[in-house]
Amino acid sequence: MQTINVKVNGTTYQESVPIRMLLVDFIREVVGLTGTHVSCTYEGVCGACTIHLNGEAVKSCMLLAVQADGHEITTVEGLANDKELSPLQKAFNEQHGLQCGFCTAGVLMNMTEFLAKNPNPSDDEIRHGLIGNLCRCTGYVHIVNAVRAAAKSIAN
Amino acid sequence: MYPAHIESYYRPTTVAEALAAITRQPEGDSMFLAGGQSLMQAIKSRMVRPTSIVDLQSVAELRGIDQANGLRIGAMTRYVEIAEYEQFPAAYAALRDAAERVGDRQVRNRGTIGGSVCWNYVASCLPSVVLALNGTMSLASADGSIRDVKAKDFIIAPLETARREDEILLCVSWPKPPPKTGSAYKKWGLVTDALPVVGMCVSISLDDLGKCRTAQVAVAGLADGAQIADAGGAALIGSAGDEASISAAMNDVADSVETHSDHWADASYREQLIKRLGVEVTLRAFARARR
Ligand SMILES: Cc1cc2nc3c(=O)[nH]c(=O)nc-3n(C[C@H](O)[C@H](O)[C@H](O)COP(=O)(O)OP(=O)(O)OC[C@H]3O[C@@H](n4cnc5c(N)ncnc54)[C@H](O)[C@@H]3O)c2cc1C
Ligand code: FES
Ligand code: FES
């Protein structure tokens, strides 16, 4: 066991965890935030577990919780400001960017960082940015529409 | 897929501390962790079972791209940093071609050049690039010594390199680029940016008349991993960069390496990929060398 201090969505958690614990399980089981999903049995290929580690999109099943010691994490629960949805979350709602929603948390986390780096992306750039997130429902068309709409609304 | 029990976790802040930590355990029990984009998979599938992890995330001297004296890329420099670095000379531009197409954004935010070449996965991008560009790997050990190993001696076979388990890779480096030199990399995988079924990296130096003076060709995705194709390099010498001579050289490459069949592609398809991608990247390397 090792004691770690991790700030999740602004709150610091000091917890003792087994070294082999994956960060995604720390977030879901220890912190109790279940918006971050596991959909490929931790194989690192689906992107549903994507979170921000110090502001960057990473797959949380590819890290040990102890690696996050001393760092800041944002999960999908941390995107809204109070009850006010982020522009990307609003766009997903308005553009029907999700169906079952299983992939959505990971897509939102990845695309939030993507838009911060690429405020005016082409559709090709959006699609290229989405490679790490598998969606079994939407066929991606509405996801791309939502990301494009969010870029416009952030610019205005 | 879940890690087995791990006894200890260290996060050193210097190379010396990292080497002390790795030698504290019996050989093989302790492993360096860089971006984790290969090692975590191996730990979860229990292909490897380290009892101790030495996490390199806080070793600042292993990070960054520096051109003060040639080109030096710290082992812990991530794909995203290489992909976003705009000052590569034409000679080393293939590094960026490869880094910006590894996996996906999340993988590029974590994975490092050092991890990629030390893991030397059978189907991977950077090992072929360091081969074609003739990079030098600097390895440090706990007794304070540092040895430099050329890529062709470092990359041995899939999952096998010249690095000893108690050595740390400090950086990959290159001399100041010779004039009129260009390089390029491109791969083909089953889906966009996937692991290379075949990847091709070519480096070209031109003489004053614009003819190829030296060339090096490396192929990624072979059954034996990334390999230099000497036949290709030799056949390109004297070429003026026209498609006919490049095509002929890439036919030589396809003839000289052994391609294999698997569930991704059969051997003859791989040969076609070598030829098609080879012509495309060689034309790009020529164009970059002329600039
Ligand atoms: C979804 C996905 C897609 C991918 N797609 C591609 C792709 O298209 N092309 C491609 O080439 N790769 C791909 N990869 C693999 C990826 O490139 C890995 O990041 C890389 O192979 C390992 O780098 P790392 O920093 O993550 O190293 P780690 O996984 O942390 O380490 C790998 C090995 O290197 C050792 N090591 C690391 N750094 C050092 C050092 N400084 N000194 C000594 N030993 C060290 C470790 O002990 C370990 O044995 C993909 C991976 C995933 C999960
Ligand atoms: S659960 Fe992490 S990538 Fe699928
Ligand atoms: S909305 Fe169902 S997987 Fe994407």
Residue of B nearest to A109 (CA): B106
Class of domain A87-155: mainly alpha
Distance CA B112, CA B105 (A): 13
User: How high is the pLDDT of residue A83?
Assistant: 85
pLDDT digits (tens, 9 = 90+) for A29-67: 999 999 999 999 999 999 999 999 999 999 999 999 999
Contact B122, B42 (CB under 8 A): no
Backbone dihedral angles phi then psi of residue A155, each to the nearest 5 degrees: -65, -30
Q: Do domains A2-78 and A87-155 have the same CATH topology?
A: no
CATH, domain B8-55, list 3.40.50.720, 3.30.43.10, 3.30.70.1520, 3.10.290.10: 3.30.43.10
Q: Which CATH superfamily is domain B181-290 in?
A: CO dehydrogenase flavoprotein, C-terminal domain (3.30.390.50)
The answer to whether residue B291 scores a pLDDT higher than 90 is: no
Angle in degrees, CA B129, B132, B135, rounded to 5: 75
Contact status, residue B20 vs residue B32, Cβ threshold 8 Å: no
Euclidean distance between CA atoms A48 and A36, whole angstroms = 7
- Are the Cβ atoms of B105 and A20 closer than 8 angstroms? no
pLDDT score of B188 more than 80: yes
Q: Let me know if the fold of B60-174 is the same as that of B181-290.
A: no
B124 SS3 class: coil
Threshold 0.90, pTM exceeds? yes
In this complex, the residue of B6, B55, B80 whose CB is nearest that of residue A20 is: B6
Residue A53 pLDDT: 98
- Nearest protein CA to atom 37 of ligand 1, as residue: B115
Question: Which residues does B49 contact at the CB level (< 8 Å), separation at least 6?
Answer: B4, B43
**Which CATH superfamily hosts domain A2-78?**
Beta-grasp domain (3.10.20.30)
pLDDT digits (tens, 9 = 90+) for B23-41: 988 877 999 999 999 999 9
Q: Which residues neighbour B208 within 8 Å (Cβ) at sequence distance 6 or greater?
A: none
Q: CA-CA distance, B286 to B201, in Å (whole number)?
A: 12
Q: Phi and psi of B30, rounded to 5°? A: -120, 140
Domain assignments of chain A as residue spans, ordered by start? 2-78, 87-155
Instruction: Give chain B's mean pLDDT.
Output: 97
Q: Assign domain B60-174 to a CATH class.
A: alpha beta
Ligand nearest to the CA of B163: 1
Q: Where are the domains of chain B?
A: 8-55, 60-174, 181-290
